[in-house]
Amino acid sequence: MGVNISSERRRTGYYGRRILFDDQEIDRIQVQHHFAREAWNGNFSSPIKDVLNAGGATVLDIGCGAGTFLCEMAADYPNARYVGVDKLQIFPNTLPKNVTFIQSDILRGLPFDNDSFDFIYIRFLVFDLADYEWRMVIDEMTRILKPNGYLEMMEPRIEMNNKGPITEKIVNAIQVRARSRHLNPYIVDKFNEFMHSTNKLKNIKYEVKRIPCGKWGDKQGELGAMYMYEIFKKHLHYVNNIQPNEHDNNLNNFLKEIEQFHTYFEFVRCFAQKIKKVDVD
């Protein structure tokens, strides 16, 4: 079983002790899921379709939220079994028969034996895991991943390209808040290094999607704008250098600027396969 992997350092997180969770937050989670699926033309990049279709495969979603990813996967690949883990108990009441949810915090170690899962997925935790916690989390995921199984991570780089002055102001404020809480807005740039450092993963792939923001980028651009708008709307609640009465005006200007400057951001998926013992002998 897992151990407490954050015992020496106190976790802070972007939000501190304030966690806003309501119907709007559930809607935001749904937006980010559907955006990611459309942006990547699928729910995952790892080459595991044959394993999922064969029957008997086990899939773990870490930070599963309301479980949208797992419920979709359960419908698309009904021969596999799915487990969702989240620190908050926000799972749906009605579940597919092959989906289970567990309330657990990965930073305290996960309640699974070594070599338990064929596929492990983690995403949208850039504002939840401190820079120094990512490597430990990847080690824990690798521990419970079966040999030849796949581990996949997906996060945005918290930066905008071709940004206007108001967009730059918002992004800078969010980055300052993140770094003050020991979070790395560019953590995706370390994913390759983290996976290589385990010495237990092979076939490491690093994929980057350039996501347009705004109607100028057609359907994907509209989804990208909606995704970033929801991120900004949520995270502006926690910054100190932009007053609350400025939020709506800044967000409206953001929507104008992305059309004017053709703003875009980058989204990263990194996945790898666990080495069998004979591979390293």
User: Do residues 201 and 194 make contact, with C-beta atoms less than 8 angstroms apart?
Assistant: no
pTM value?
0.89
| Of 276 and 120, the one with more pLDDT | 120
Q: Quick check: 15 pLDDT over 60?
A: no
Phi–psi pair at 46, nearest 5 degrees: -60, 145
Q: Tell me the per-residue pLDDT of 220-266, one tens digit each, with 9 for 90 and over.
A: 999 999 999 988 988 887 777 788 888 899 999 999 999 999 999 99
DSSP assignment of 136-192: HHHHHHHHHEEEEEEEEEEEE-S--BS--HHHHHHHHHHHHHHHHTT--TTGGGGHH
Question: Which pLDDT score is estimated for 10?
Answer: 39
| Of 238 and 69, the one with more pLDDT | 69
User: Do residues 131 and 191 make contact, with C-beta atoms less than 8 angstroms apart?
Assistant: no
Question: Which pLDDT score is estimated for 61?
Answer: 97
Question: Which pLDDT score is estimated for 18?
Answer: 47
Question: Which pLDDT score is estimated for 4?
Answer: 40
For the chain, strand residue ranges (E) read 58-62, 81-86, 99-103, 117-123, 145-156, 201-212, 264-274
Question: Which pLDDT score is estimated for 91?
Answer: 79
Q: Does residue 15 lie within any of the structural domains? A: no
Mean pLDDT (the chain) is 89
Q: Does residue 11 lie within any of the structural domains? A: no
Name the amino acid, one letter, at 111.
Answer: P
**Could you list the residue range(s) of the whole structural domain that residue 109 is in?**
23-276
Question: Which pLDDT score is estimated for 8?
Answer: 34
Scanning the structure block, which residue is given the tokens 């930073």?
107
Q: Does residue 47 lie within any of the structural domains? A: yes
Question: Which pLDDT score is estimated for 26?
Answer: 72
Q: What is the mean pLDDT of residues 75-96?
A: 90
Question: Which pLDDT score is estimated for 154?
Answer: 97
For the chain, give the percent of residues with pLDDT over 90: 73
Q: How many domains does the chain have?
A: 1
| Of 185 and 247, the one with more pLDDT | 185
Q: Quick check: 22 pLDDT over 70?
A: no
Residue 202 sits in a domain whose CATH number is 3.40.50.150
Q: Does residue 206 lie within any of the structural domains? A: yes
Q: Does residue 35 lie within any of the structural domains? A: yes
Please give the DSSP secondary-structure letter assigned to residue 47.
S
Question: Which pLDDT score is estimated for 6?
Answer: 36
Question: Which pLDDT score is estimated for 2?
Answer: 45
Distance CA 167, CA 52 (A): 41
Q: Does residue 2 lie within any of the structural domains? A: no
Q: Does residue 205 lie within any of the structural domains? A: yes
Q: Tell me the per-residue pLDDT of 134-182, one tens digit each, with 9 for 90 and over.
A: 999 999 999 999 999 999 999 999 999 999 999 999 999 999 989 998 9
Q: Does residue 9 lie within any of the structural domains? A: no
Nearest to 5 by CA among 99, 105, 146: 105
Distance CA 58, CA 117 (A): 5
